[in-house]
């Protein structure tokens, strides 16, 4: 909390709060529906307590599809290394999400211990990190061979 220097009253406080909902959702329509519902609930609660609510959007990540050819190259490289693969939707914001707007992109995800991800408790076994790095290396080599 910070005192509002523009205030006429001694008991008037300006309260700033930052709320960053993270929605692991690959459907943009569902993400928008969640945002709308959260905003409506926040407005209702602000009114209930006689507060003013101002929402300032500072950024938004939109779900994007990864390039099917890149994904196939990654799958082929992983299978050549005798690694198990499965296609899944990440839903989280990644560099590939931004890059996909400009260039064909794909992602290699490695398993986290106990499935915990995007948390301070996240842990990935070194063997899985090495497998992911090798899948990336072989994918890049295979992509380079496709271009020549």
User: Once rounded to an integer, what is the mean pLDDT over residues 21-40?
Assistant: 72
User: Once rounded to an integer, what is the mean pLDDT over residues 56-72?
Assistant: 81
Beta-bridge partners for 2: 14
pTM, full prediction: 0.63
Look at residue 93 and tell me whether its pLDDT is greater than 70.
no
Look at residue 15 and tell me whether its pLDDT is greater than 80.
no
Look at residue 11 and tell me whether its pLDDT is greater than 90.
no
Look at residue 85 and tell me whether its pLDDT is greater than 70.
yes
Q: What is the pLDDT of residue 2?
A: 42
Distance between first and last Cα of the chain: 60
Classify burial at 104, counting beta carbons within 10 Å of its beta carbon; exposed 0-12, middle 13-18, buried 19 or more.
middle
Look at residue 9 and tell me whether its pLDDT is greater than 60.
no
Look at residue 27 and tell me whether its pLDDT is greater than 90.
no
Q: Average pLDDT over the chain, rounded to whole? A: 81
Asked which of 35-39, 73-77, 127-131 is least confident by mean pLDDT, the reply is 35-39
Record: fold of 68-147: DNA polymerase; domain 1 (1.10.150)
Show the tokens assigned to 99.
């890059």
Task: Please state the domain extents for the chain.
Answer: 2-48, 68-147
């Amino acid at each position: 909390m910070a005192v509002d220097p523009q205030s006429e009253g001694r008991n008037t406080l300006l309260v700033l709060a930052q709320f960053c909902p993270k929605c692991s959702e690959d459907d943009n329509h569902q993400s928008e529906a969640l945002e709308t519902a959260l905003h409506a609930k926040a407005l209702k609660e602000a009114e209930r307590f006689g507060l003013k609510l101002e929402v300032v959007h500072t950024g938004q990540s939109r779900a994007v599809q990864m390039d099917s050819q890149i994904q196939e190259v990654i799958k082929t490289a992983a299978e050549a290394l005798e690694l198990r693969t499965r296609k899944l939707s990440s839903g989280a914001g990644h560099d590939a999400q931004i890059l996909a707007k400009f260039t064909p992109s794909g992602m290699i995800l490695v398993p986290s211990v106990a499935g915990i991800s995007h948390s301070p408790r996240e842990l990935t076994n070194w063997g899985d990190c090495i497998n992911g790095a090798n899948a990336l290396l072989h994918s890049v080599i295979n992509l380079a061979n496709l271009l020549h």
